[in-house]
Every structure is written in C-alpha cells, then in structure tokens.
C-alpha cells in the first residue's frame, strides 16, 4: 500500500467528517484513511464512511492514539491530519513525489493556511505559521521551535519505525519525533506550497495540554544536542540575556562543557563565574559550538546578521543554533 492518512480524534465530531473527506478525495486504491478515536463521548466516529479504518480506544491521550494508529497504518508513507483541519488538494501527490524522489527524506511538511471560524487568529499562532511557512529547509532553525506543522506532514513509515515511533512522555510528541529522525540521520523538508488548512480554536491541544509548555520543548532540544553536537564535552559560547540564558548556562555547566564566554549586548562582569563579553568578542573567541538563547521578538534575525558579519565561517545548524 502506498499511503495511510492518520487522523486522531477526541470529541471532534463537529469537524471530523470534513477532515476525513479532504483526505479521501485524494486517495487512490493504493491509499487508506485510518482514524483513531481516543475515547470520544460525542459520537465523533459514528458516521464514518465504511472504507475508513477505525481504531477505538479509551481516552489515553494524543501520543498513545497516534502510536496505536501508526501501528495500524499499512502504507509506506503516513500522512498526518488533525480532525479539525483540512488537507488541501494536491497535498498527497506532491508529498509522495518528494518522498519518492529523496530516499533519505524522513518527513516532509509544507505551508499551512491558518483560519478561524470567527474573528482573527491569535497573533502568536499567526507568527508561528508565518515562520514555518518561510522554512523550506528546517534544519538550520531546528532548535527554535517545531519546524514542521504536524497535521501537514507526510512521513516515511520505515524511518518512523526505525526511531521508535511516537513516545508517550511529558514532551511534544511531534517535535520529539522530528528531532529523533534528524539525530537518526534522516532529513526533513517543507514543500513551498500550502498543503493543509489549520483551524485555530481555543480547544487545540497546543493550548490545553502541558506537554507543549516551554520546559518540555527545552527537554527535547537538550536531548537532541546531547545526541548530536554535544555528545561529548565541548567549548560552548552562549549568547544570552541574563534571564533566558540562566537555565541554559546551568545545563551546560552540569554537562561538563567548557564555556569560554557569554555574549550579551549588555555590559557585565560575569555570570556564575563566566565572563560576559560584547558581540565583537566573537571574532577572537575559540570555541566549538555557539548557542543563542535570546527569545525577545525580532532579536534572532538581528543576531543572525551579526554572527554573519563577525564570523562568516559559522554555519547555522552546523556550528551554531538558536534555542529560543
């Protein structure tokens, strides 16, 4: 079988039929739609078409539902879709072509069209969608935030199986999976076309489930660094303000990494015994890795340009990473 659409739902009966139909319209006889009902009480899955494969379980949570559904998928590619979203025409065709054309591609996303039933989308969500929509290559900014929209992703089933599938832990299940794919040697990509319409509403799990809080994302980032760039003690320069950089400084010191300096535009003598230097010091500092932990809006772009000016030899995603 070629493709399996994987759609989890809990009490999403208001929108599920629309999501399922948007997937079915793109299916050939080689494709299937798998819906996982995670303990719905609204009869969400009661009227599904007979050709949809239904998995029903107690309300065990999104990660358990996704893994149960993944194990039922028979396609060599798995296309994710949420019950409150819509797959846009042509998505399957273009994502299959991308995966067929690059054997080392573990997952491919695409751009999203954000919509709400009433009013305007929240500013934060709109900024996030704009950011991901601008990422053709997710790798340089992999540690900023999840660089793929989960309900817009098509995955190579064998790659997901190789890295252990979805994990039910206190962390965002999608971001955790993307990072494990990358650390396992697989590439990620985004198509330069809209593939999914994402409906924003107050009940989205990213707003209601604690696994999507900032500390949980940081846990994913640090696990990835431990598996890749910081597998062993390195010399790490930290570009950070006093507040956002404090937990990263503590983590680096606990991991036994040498910290030649902290970079900050604000003057200062030291933090936790580490010298604070102005950005110009980057020209002469000797280090292996640079981490940028500045979350102020607009700061990341300014810092990226400053690094390119001061140290054009440094490549984002190879020598330095933004982690906020």
Provide the pLDDT for residue 256: 97
183 and 286 fall within a common domain? no
Residues with Cβ within 8 Å of residue 81, at least 6 apart in sequence: 5, 6, 7, 19, 22, 23, 87, 151, 196
What residues does 190 pair with on adjacent strands?
Answer: 109
Evaluate whether residue 41 is within a structural domain.
yes
pTM equals 0.95
105 and 148 fall within a common domain? yes
Is 107 within 8 Å of 188 (Cβ atoms)? yes
CATH number where 283 lies? 3.40.50.720
CA dist 184 and 25 (Å) reads: 34
CATH number where 101 lies? 3.90.550.10
Evaluate whether residue 228 is within a structural domain.
no
Each residue's pLDDT tens digit, 263-281: 998 867 788 899 999 999 9
Beta strands in 21-104 (DSSP E): 31-38, 53-57, 77-80, 86-87
Domain end call among 166, 198, 222: 222
**Nearest alpha-carbon partner for 222 in 189, 265, 175:** 175
For 84, the domain range is: 3-222
Each residue's pLDDT tens digit, 117-131: 887 888 989 999 999
211 and 241 fall within a common domain? no
Provide the pLDDT for residue 281: 95
Kind of pairing between the strands at 187-199 and 86-87: antiparallel
**Nearest alpha-carbon partner for 94 in 240, 200, 192, 204:** 192
| Three-class DSSP category at 10 | coil
What residues does 230 pair with on adjacent strands?
Answer: none
87 and 168 fall within a common domain? yes
Q: In the β-sheet with 154-156, what is the strand arrangement from edge to edge?
A: 53-57, 31-38, 3-9, 77-80, 154-156, 105-115, 187-199, 86-87
| pLDDT beneath 50, residues of the chain | none
137 and 200 fall within a common domain? yes
């Amino acid at each position: 079988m070629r493709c399996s659409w994987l759609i989890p739902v809990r009490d999403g009966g208001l929108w599920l039929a629309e999501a399922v139909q948007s997937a079915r319209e793109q299916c050939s006889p080689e494709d299937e739609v798998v819906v996982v009902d995670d303990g719905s009480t609204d009869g969400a899955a009661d009227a599904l078409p007979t050709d949809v494969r239904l998995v029903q379980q107690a309300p065990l949570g999104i990660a358990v539902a996704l893994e149960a559904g993944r194990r039922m998928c028979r396609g060599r590619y798995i296309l994710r879709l949420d019950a409150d979203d819509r797959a846009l025409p042509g998505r399957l065709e273009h994502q299959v072509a991308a995966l067929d054309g690059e054997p080392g591609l573990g997952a491919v996303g695409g751009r999203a069209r954000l919509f709400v039933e009433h009013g305007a989308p929240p500013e934060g969500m709109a900024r996030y969608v704009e950011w991901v929509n601008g990422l053709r290559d997710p790798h340089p900014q992999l540690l900023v935030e999840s660089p793929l929209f989960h309900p817009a992703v098509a995955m190579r089933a064998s790659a997901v199986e190789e890295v252990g599938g979805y994990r039910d832990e206190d962390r965002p299940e999608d971001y955790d999976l993307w990072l494990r794919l990358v650390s396992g040697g697989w590439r990620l990509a985004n198509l330069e076309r809209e593939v999914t319409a994402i409906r924003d509403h107050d009940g989205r799990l990213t707003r209601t489930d604690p696994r999507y809080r900032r500390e949980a994302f940081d846990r994913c980032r640090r696990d990835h660094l431990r598996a890749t760039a910081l597998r062993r003690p390195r010399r790490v320069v930290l570009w950070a303000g006093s507040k956002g950089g404090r937990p990263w400084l503590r983590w680096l010191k606990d991991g036994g990494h040498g910290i030649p300096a902290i970079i900050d535009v604000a003057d200062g003598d030291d933090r936790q015994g580490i010298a604070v230097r102005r950005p110009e010091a980057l020209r002469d500092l000797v280090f292996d890795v640079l981490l940028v932990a500045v979350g102020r809006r607009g700061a990341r772009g300014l810092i990226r340009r400053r690094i390119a000016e001061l140290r054009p030899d440094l490549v984002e995603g190879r020598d330095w990473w933004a982690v906020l």
